[in-house]
Amino acid sequence: MTIGWQVLVCGGTGCRASQSERIEKALKEEIRRCGLEDEAQVIRTGCFGFCEKGPVVKVIPDNTFYVQVRPEDAEEIVSEHLLKGCRVRRLLYVDPETHLRVSDSKHIGFYRKQLRIALRNCGFIDPENIGEYIARDGYAALGKALTGMTPEEVIGEIERSGLRGRGGGGFPTGLKWKITRQAPGERKYVVCNADEGDPGAFMDRSILEGDPHSVLEAMAINGYCTGASKGLIYIRAEYPLAVERLKTAIGQAREAGLLGDDILGSGFSFDVEIRYGAGAFVCGEETALIRSMEGQRGEAMVKPPFPSERGYAGCPTNVNNVETYANIPVILLKGADWFAGIGTERSKGTKVFALAGKINNVGLIEVPMGTTLREVIFGIGGGIKNGKKFKAVQTGGPSGGCLTEKHLDIPIDYDNLLAAGSMMGSGGMIVMDEDDCMVSMAKFYLDFTVEESCGKCAPCRVGNKRLHELLQKITGGKGTEEDLERLRNLALVIRDTALCGLGQTSPNPVLSTLDNFRDEYLAHVREQRCYAHQCRDLTQYFISPEICRGCTLCARACPVNAISGERKHPHAIDPLLCVRCGSCLEKCKFGAVRVR
Amino acid sequence: MEKEIRNESLPSCVREKVHDICREHGCDPGELIHILHALQRTFGYLPEAVQEAVAAELDIPVARVYGVVTFYSYFTMVPKGKYPVSVCLGTACYVRGAEAVLDEFRRQLEIGVGETTLDGLFSLDCLRCVGACGLAPVVSVGDRVYGRLTPEKVRGILSDYYRAAED
């Protein structure tokens, strides 16, 4: 039997939310109805990355890439494409520049400029089938390490590759492995940090959902190098699909003898267990993560001792992030020199970013280190939504900073982002346009930090609360110029004195917006104006009497009856009653409602 | 003494369930988070009496159990509604207008965040990123995720569930 067609349906969380499961079912039914079971196969893959245009369906071997597919489209895809070999043109991606329909994903701007190493299998294989992973050189790196290399040789290879931790810190991975290997101790642990709490970041989840075996394989290699026989994956309970796929993968790997006792007859034994988080951002910090795995409150600890010396259950523990692990097997197979040939001088390889916010192509991308922000936002991301003006890009999540127009041409790597006042972080990248108020954004991030602070050290617990109050005062129209000075001083104290990474980086959004958007802060405190019209207390709605036709639409939409006026006569808004909900602005067909 | 009395007030089936779940995890305090996950799956929430029973089973102070329950946002001490509504307030959803959607849910359900409606049908919560940023703003009701929401769509979603509850 030869299978001619493979129909890949995206099974990532984003596409599943748009009913990709029903598409999969409809395709299978249609294939059965047309008697094509022997020639066509439907496969549910991990995330394709192009979430903006989801749900995505790809047909192989002709690499046809269908976007925004609905369950009703299954019939046409089967009867036209699979039976007659004619592509369904209306489901193809339209290039926004040329307005031509593009059938092969290779020619879509979003993919053309990417280089996929960590995401190499996402969207290509069925993550619930170990055979497909093996067919794409899966577990070959583990075999190579176990049968032909000493642990020192493997660590040397990782060191030479220049791989740095992808969770945010950027610590050299090979060095971390070496320290754990050299730490004295009978029992050691390998931990995978899959506690992706950074709002707006979903790269780890996509890797676990789309290619869980790559992480398991790398953890086993790590175990071989450090002398650990037990691996623990700490994952958020909020990621049910990723947990499910990991469980399936662990089961299959055990069955295939790739986890468990005496792997591949080498005498090396290694097994993996899943540990659940319960929703606490601070648990992404390695010492807090270890406390949480021990069944305690996830409070950060003073370092040193580092986990590589004394971690889980008091034993040397190597903690790496999901994306870091996903890079390991490829490095061993293709060699350190190949990997080190990609990227910038001090940041090698690629980085996955979750592109979100006011951007045309929301999704998951992977680019070589050294790519510029402009290339990412305007090249791959397709520019700003609705033709608006770019204002800022926030990298590194709540710990990162807001970068502006003038930073767009810096090549992205760990050191450059740090020098610009932001950081790599885990790879969240949120784009903001002219309608976003940067003071409100800083407040939004502080909101998050205040809620997520573990409460152990005073600078973070109390200091961030005070920062938040100052920002509330400013956005509420009661701030003064002295408050800006106070804001900066307090932020610097927190940065210098907080205990862990969360606290030390939490003032970054405030500091970077103060530096890059000082004018906006000044407008808030001097003129009591918010030019982005986001701060409710600083905005005022009014109706321009010259334009108003007296259609009464706004008066009917107003939830608090703040608008009065006779039919066919100009209306007016009572500023004392107005709650600034913006309903009138949305409803008015003549553009008579204005904001000040 | 008071602890004993409170434990007595727990229905025996609940007490047995707590006992069984703790035993499954070897009554190991290091497994506390997994035990609480299992109990919340079973009972829907973690009331004080259950926390006391867990502490007794694991032979640890109630304060330690309470400390863990209140530390992690996933654990709740109040029962959730039949249809738990979670509004994503991750950054991507926030910049695409999640706050207005949350306000609309508040207005329609007449409850605040962290509360449950009197009829027990809906509870309202915020969460940080379900990872469906391409569909921002996103709201999940139970297992179902709704994307590209606007305040106008809120009433329609709720009425679907009211109808489902009547059937």
| Domain segments of chain A as ranges | 5-110, 130-339, 350-433, 438-526, 540-595
CA distances, A382 to each of A109, A197, A390, B6, B96 (Å): 8, 27, 12, 61, 17
Q: Give the minimum alpha-carbon distance from A294 to chain B in angstroms, rounded to a whole number.
A: 5
Q: Give the minimum alpha-carbon distance from B102 to chain A in angstroms, rounded to a whole number.
A: 13
Say if domain A540-595 classifies as CATH 3.40.50.1820: no
Residues of B at the A interface (Cβ-Cβ below 8 Å)?
A: 28-34, 36-37, 64, 67-68, 71-75, 89-92, 94-96, 127-136, 138, 145-147
Percent share of chain A, pLDDT over 90: 79
| Chain B contact set for A199 (CB, 8 A) | 89-92, 94, 128-129
Choose from A52, A70, A233, A276 for mutation: most chain B CBs within 10 A: A276
* CB nearest A280 (choices: B29, B73, B138): B73
| Chain A contact set for B92 (CB, 8 A) | 199-200, 356-357, 362, 430
| Chain A contact set for B133 (CB, 8 A) | 14, 51, 200, 202, 354, 356, 362
* CB nearest B129 (choices: A200, A275, A444): A200
CA dist B142 and B164 (Å) reads: 13
* CB nearest B147 (choices: A17, A294, A356): A17
Q: Indicate whether B8 pLDDT > 60.
A: no
The matching CATH number, chosen from 3.30.420.10, 3.40.30.10, 3.40.640.10, 1.10.3730.10, for A5-110 is: 3.40.30.10
Choose from B95, B99, B102, B135 for mutation: most chain A CBs within 10 A: B95
- Whether residue B134 and residue A205 make contact (CB cut-off 8 A), yes or no, is no
- Whether residue B95 and residue A357 make contact (CB cut-off 8 A), yes or no, is yes
In sequence order, what DSSP letters do the residues of A401-422 get, joined into one string? EEEEGGGTTSBPSHHHHHHTT-
pLDDT at B1: 40
Could you give the domains of chain B? 2-71 (no CATH), 83-166 (3.40.30.10)
Please give the class, per CATH, of domain A438-526: mainly alpha
pLDDT at B144: 84
Question: Phi, psi (5° rounding) for residue A191?
Answer: -120, 140
What averages of pLDDT result for each successive group of 10 residues across chain A (596 residues)? 80 84 94 92 90 90 92 95 92 90 90 94 94 96 96 97 92 97 96 87 90 98 97 90 95 97 96 93 93 95 93 96 97 97 96 92 94 95 93 91 94 94 90 94 93 93 97 95 97 95 93 96 94 88 92 89 92 90 86 88
CA distances, A338 to each of A136, A145, A331 (Å): 18, 18, 8
Q: Is B36 helix (H, G, I), strand (E, B) or coil?
A: helix
CA dist B109 and A309 (Å) reads: 52
Q: Give the minimum alpha-carbon distance from B26 to chain A in angstroms, rounded to a whole number.
A: 13
Give the dihedral sign, CA A319/A321/A324/A329: positive
* Residue type at position A339: F
| Chain A contact set for B90 (CB, 8 A) | 199-200
Write down the CATH number for the domain with range A350-433. Answer: 3.10.20.600
* CB nearest A278 (choices: B37, B89, B146): B37
Q: Chains A, B: CB contacts under 8 A, how many?
A: 128
pLDDT at A2: 54
| Chain A contact set for B41 (CB, 8 A) | none
pLDDT at A178: 97
- Whether residue B36 and residue A278 make contact (CB cut-off 8 A), yes or no, is yes
* CB nearest B30 (choices: A16, A18, A294): A294
- Whether residue B130 and residue A362 make contact (CB cut-off 8 A), yes or no, is no
pLDDT at B2: 44
And the tokens for A95? Answer: 């290039």
- Whether residue A356 and residue B72 make contact (CB cut-off 8 A), yes or no, is no
* Residue type at position B15: R
Write down how long chain A is. Answer: 596
Let me know: does A102 contact A92? Beta carbons within 8 Å: yes
Q: Indicate whether B114 pLDDT > 60.
A: yes
- Whether residue B133 and residue A14 make contact (CB cut-off 8 A), yes or no, is yes
| Residue that the structure tokens 């863990």 belong to | B68
Q: Give the minimum alpha-carbon distance from A576 to chain B in angstroms, rounded to a whole number.
A: 21
* Residue type at position A463: G
Torsion of CA A509, A510, A514, A515, to 10 degrees: -40
| Chain A contact set for B128 (CB, 8 A) | 197, 199, 281, 448
- Whether residue B133 and residue A200 make contact (CB cut-off 8 A), yes or no, is yes
Which CATH architecture describes the domain A130-339? 3-Layer(aba) Sandwich (3.40)
Nearest CA in chain A to B145: A17
| Chain A contact set for B36 (CB, 8 A) | 278
Q: Give the minimum alpha-carbon distance from A77 to chain B in angstroms, rounded to a whole number.
A: 24
Burial A275-298 (b: 16+ CB within 10 A, else e): bbbbbbbbbbbbbbbbbbbbbbbb
pLDDT at A105: 87
Nearest CA in chain A to B40: A278
Given its phi and psi angles, is residue B142 left (phi above 0), alpha (psi -120 to 50 degrees) or beta? left
- Whether residue A436 and residue B95 make contact (CB cut-off 8 A), yes or no, is yes
Ranges A323-337, A569-583, B25-39, B52-66: which has the least confidence: A569-583
* CB nearest A202 (choices: B29, B67, B133): B133
- Whether residue A199 and residue B30 make contact (CB cut-off 8 A), yes or no, is no
Choose from B133, B143, B148 for mutation: most chain A CBs within 10 A: B133
The contacts of residue A532 (CB under 8 Å, 6+ apart) are A434, A435, A436, A437, A438, A440, A520
ipTM: 0.87
**pLDDT tens digit sequence for A235-269:** 988 788 899 999 999 999 999 999 999 999 999 99
- Whether residue B31 and residue A356 make contact (CB cut-off 8 A), yes or no, is no
